[in-house]
Amino acid sequence: MWQIAKRRSDPDYLANQARAQKAWSERNPGYWQAYREINPDYARENRAQQRGRNKRRVIAKMDSLTPQSLPAGIYELRLLDGDSRLAKKDVWVVSLRVLSPSGP
């Protein structure tokens, strides 16, 4: 689809599309909730597809890491492609140090 290529190559077009989508959502609050209620088969299939996408992607919650779960060390920091687990070409090497241990 030409729009996908356009979004990837033109940051202004991408920003305009995002603004248009946000404006539409603000003008139509509750639309998707009502749509899912009227179309339960669609909602069920969409949830199943999302579970499949989640298995293929890196998903992280804001509070998923704690000082105890991530030891000090050298790490690679990569920007992931939004549609897959593929890292883009830019990679940063970072050093993480524990500045103050947590716990009693």
Question: Tens digit of pLDDT for each residue in 27-84?
Answer: 999 999 999 999 999 999 999 998 888 777 755 555 555 555 667 777 776 665 555 5
Reported pTM: 0.45
Signed CA dihedral, 33, 39, 45, 49: sign only: negative
